[in-house]
Amino acid sequence: MKLPLHIAQKLQLLLEPGQLVSGSMMQHTAVTKMLDDGILHKKQLGKTRSQIYLADASVLSAYLHNQYGISDLLLYIEKQTGEELTRSGAVQISGDSKLKKIRSFSGFMTNVYEPLQCTMLGEPFILQPIPGSFTFINAYKNFTPAESVTIIGIENAENFANILKQQWLFGDLHPLFVCRYPQSNDLVKWLQQIPNQYLHFGDLDFEGINIYLNEFKKKLGDRSTFFIPPQTSEYLQSYGNRGLYNKQLSRAPLAKAVLEKGIERLLTLIHQYKKVLEQEIFIR
């Protein structure tokens, strides 16, 4: 059994001489057991009110070490509340690699259709995954492409895997493709720390627009643009999905609230044809 963080924090308070904590703030089976074992003590103030106190700090220290593998209570708290705790660090402070929910594989996937010069951890390297593979960027806080590179976010997996078959869409751009999945805040955090322009390529429907506005535009502002291929009007007429339009209609954003002219024009086209378009149609 793990010692909950909020209980650990209350125990840290009790280490101060004369400190008492309300019993209502320490309701947990771990506390009940410490009371039963004589590690903690209760002072009853009424039928429902009580206070918990600690008589001997050295006894608590030995108890935490034997029962939970915690050799330093303050370090245990600091590591759990910090962002940089690793599984190995969790084992060192508590003997439990699952002490805190840790995302070992933070980051995002990248793809290119031509070699791209980047910097990782201060060292130059060339990004060039072999066909059939992608490059996963784990240390994204230390990953930097040239400022001339346009970051293109791909919403759907099939499009991300087939960027060569969509090269015709991006003209003279020097792109680095990034994938929205696995979905997390890592990609947006990285985009916020670099100066590059961001182009969002997703489904040309209400859901795709909302994903862009809520996850990217809101945080990147003028550095972000929703990508609308020149063939959109033609493709909406020929390949658009009316059923999906009707299904998503209640979630359609208002054009006047979008603040991006391209999306305003796209919404006009979508409502004109009463159809939406999924981005896979652009794979040739």
Q: Where are the domains of the chain?
A: 5-94, 108-282
Helix (H) or strand (E) holding 239: helix 232-239
Residue 97: what pLDDT? 45
Q: What is the pLDDT of residue 82?
A: 64
For residue range 33-87, list pLDDT tens digits in order.
999 999 999 999 988 899 999 988 889 988 998 888 888 898 888 877 765 545 5
pLDDT value for 46: 87
pLDDT of residue 99: 44
Sheet holding 108-111, edge to edge: 135-137, 108-111, 175-179, 150-154, 198-201, 224-226
What CATH class does 5-94 carry?
Answer: mainly alpha
Calpha distance 6→27 (Å, rounded) = 10
Tell me phi and psi for residue 20, to 5 degrees.
-125, 150
Q: What is the pLDDT of residue 8?
A: 92
pLDDT of 58 reads 87
pTM of the model: 0.66
Residues in the chain with pLDDT values less than 70? 1, 82-105, 183, 256
User: Which pLDDT does position 93 carry in this prediction?
Assistant: 38
Is domain 108-282 given the CATH code 3.40.1360.10 in the classification? yes
Q: Which of 9, 1, 15 is nearest to 61 (CA)?
A: 15
